[in-house]
């Protein structure tokens, strides 16, 4: 199934609370606190050529996100893994973006999570070309500050993406491909759905995950840096560290590795640069590594 239309997506089967649900019933209650308050967490991972990539890491992050918002996950990892495989199979997908969503569940209106006896668990699988396209992109720096880690910890992949959405609105208005978001202190946090890296000589710099999601692609790139002749450096980045970099790129499960052509009208010397290319090749090589992924055929049917 490679139908990228909305109608095509509306005809996909989903997994909800333990079973595959027919597309006509692939809905969420209007009383779900995920909708009413953005109360919930999610994960997004890639299925490539029939293999789920970094499934363990995504499930760990999902559980950590849930714990941070005091949400009980009603299923164990094996059930969620089987649910992901079942959703892909039900839709005949070998290449897809797979999304696990945990909402606070159905409850009376009122922000108190105690009103919701049980989380709603959803798994979606759908065709998803690289989120930001496959060309180098132009970025702006958004004036929308990434949400404070003192309100919502950046490690929590929550259903509340409104700051990211507003930064994207700004990027759209400026005709840019995406936006860099800064933290409250003016340091670089991340882009709207990706982490950011800057190459300075042989240093591969990326901000700490204080106001940025602990990206699973980010972690992979940091692991691969040494093999590409780079020293990984996790340290605070000023916007100027991006303007003066040799290369800048973004990373994410949805977007892949995205070379950055310019930031706020400052052209980068190369996009993609040689280091970005080398890291992308090394990243692609991990896709088929059995240590990094599991084949759908090795996941038991539910």
Ligand X SMILES: Cc1ncc(COP(=O)(O)O)c(C=O)c1O
Instruction: For the CB of residue 274, give the shortest distance to ligand X in the complex, in Å.
Output: 22
Instruction: For the CB of residue 160, give the shortest distance to ligand X in the complex, in Å.
Output: 11
Q: Give the interface size with ligand X as a residue count (CB under 6 A).
A: 15
Instruction: For the CB of residue 202, give the shortest distance to ligand X in the complex, in Å.
Output: 23
What does the alpha-carbon distance between residue 275 and residue 226 come to, in Å, rounded to a whole number? 11
CA distances from 75 to 79, 86, 219, 285 (A): 6, 15, 26, 32
Instruction: For the CB of residue 159, give the shortest distance to ligand X in the complex, in Å.
Output: 11
Give the binding range for ligand X (CB under 6 A) out of 13-21, 167-175, 187-195, 228-236: 187-195
Tell whether residue 209 is a contact of ligand X (CB under 6 A).
no
Tell whether residue 44 is a contact of ligand X (CB under 6 A).
yes
DSSP string spanning 208-270? -TTSS---HHHHHHHHHHGGGT-EEEE----HHHHHT-SEEEEEETTTEEEEEEEETTEEPS-
* CA quadruple 204, 258, 100, 33: dihedral sign: positive
Query: To the nearest 5 percent, what fractions of the chain are helix, strand and coil?
Result: 30, 25, 45
Instruction: For the CB of residue 39, give the shortest distance to ligand X in the complex, in Å.
Output: 17
C-beta neighbour count of 249 within 10 angstroms: 30
Tell whether residue 194 is a contact of ligand X (CB under 6 A).
yes
- Residue in 170, 217, 262, 293 binding ligand X, rule: CB under 6 A: 217
SS3 of residue 58 by DSSP: helix
C-beta neighbour count of 227 within 10 angstroms: 11
Nearest residue to 107 (alpha-carbon basis) of 171, 39, 27: 39
Burial of 162: CB neighbours in 10 Å, binned 0-12, 13-18, 19+: exposed
Instruction: For the CB of residue 165, give the shortest distance to ligand X in the complex, in Å.
Output: 11
- Residue in 190, 211, 283, 294 binding ligand X, rule: CB under 6 A: 190
CA distances from 166 to 2, 52, 219 (A): 30, 31, 26
Shorter beta-carbon distance to ligand X: residue 30 or 291: 291
Give the binding range for ligand X (CB under 6 A) out of 85-93, 108-116, 216-224, 256-264: 216-224
Q: What is the CA radius of gyration of the chain?
A: 19
Longest dimension (CA), the chain: 56
Mask of contacts with ligand X, 143-182, x by CB under 6 A?
---------------------x------------------
Tell whether residue 218 is a contact of ligand X (CB under 6 A).
yes
Angle at 260 between CA 216 and CA 193, to 5 degrees: 40
Shorter beta-carbon distance to ligand X: residue 107 or 177: 177
Instruction: For the CB of residue 45, give the shortest distance to ligand X in the complex, in Å.
Output: 8
Instruction: For the CB of residue 107, give the shortest distance to ligand X in the complex, in Å.
Output: 26
- Residue in 65, 120, 158, 195 binding ligand X, rule: CB under 6 A: 195
Tell whether residue 65 is a contact of ligand X (CB under 6 A).
no
Shorter beta-carbon distance to ligand X: residue 61 or 89: 61
Positions touching ligand X (CB under 6 A) are 44, 164, 190, 193-195, 213, 215-218, 251-254
């Amino acid at each position: 199934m490679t139908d990228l239309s909305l109608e095509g997506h509306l005809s996909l089967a989903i997994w909800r609370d333990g079973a595959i649900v027919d597309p006509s019933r692939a809905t969420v209650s209007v009383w779900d606190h995920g909708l009413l308050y953005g109360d919930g967490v999610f994960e997004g991972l890639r299925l490539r050529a029939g293999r789920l990539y970094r499934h363990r890491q995504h499930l760990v992050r999902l559980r950590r996100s849930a714990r941070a918002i005091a949400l009980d996950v009603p299923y164990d990892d094996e059930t969620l893994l089987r649910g992901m495989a079942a959703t892909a199979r039900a839709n005949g997908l070998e290449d897809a973006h797979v999304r696990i969503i945990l909402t606070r569940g159905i409850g009376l209106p009122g922000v108190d999570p105690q009103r919701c006896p049980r989380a709603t668990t959803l798994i979606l699988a759908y065709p998803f070309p690289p989120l930001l396209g496959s060309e180098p992109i132009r970025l702006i720096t958004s004036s929308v500050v990434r949400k404070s880690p003192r309100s919502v910890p950046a490690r929590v992949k929550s259903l509340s993406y409104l700051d990211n959405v507003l930064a994207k609105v700004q990027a759209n208005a400026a005709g840019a491909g995406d936006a860099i978001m800064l933290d409250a202190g003016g340091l670089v946090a991340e882009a709207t759905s990706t982490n950011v890296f800057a190459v300075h000589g042989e240093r591969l710099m990326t901000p700490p995950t204080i106001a940025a999601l602990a990206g699973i692609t980010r972690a992979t790139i940091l692991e691969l840096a040494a093999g590409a002749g780079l020293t990984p450096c996790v340290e605070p980045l000023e916007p100027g560290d991006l303007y003066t970099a040799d290369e800048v790129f973004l990373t994410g499960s949805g977007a892949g590795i995205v070379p950055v052509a310019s930031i706020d009208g400052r052209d980068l010397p190369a996009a993609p640069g040689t280091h970005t290319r080398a890291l992308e090749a090394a990243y692609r090589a991990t896709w088929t590594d059995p240590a990094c992924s599991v084949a759908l055929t090795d996941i038991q049917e539910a």
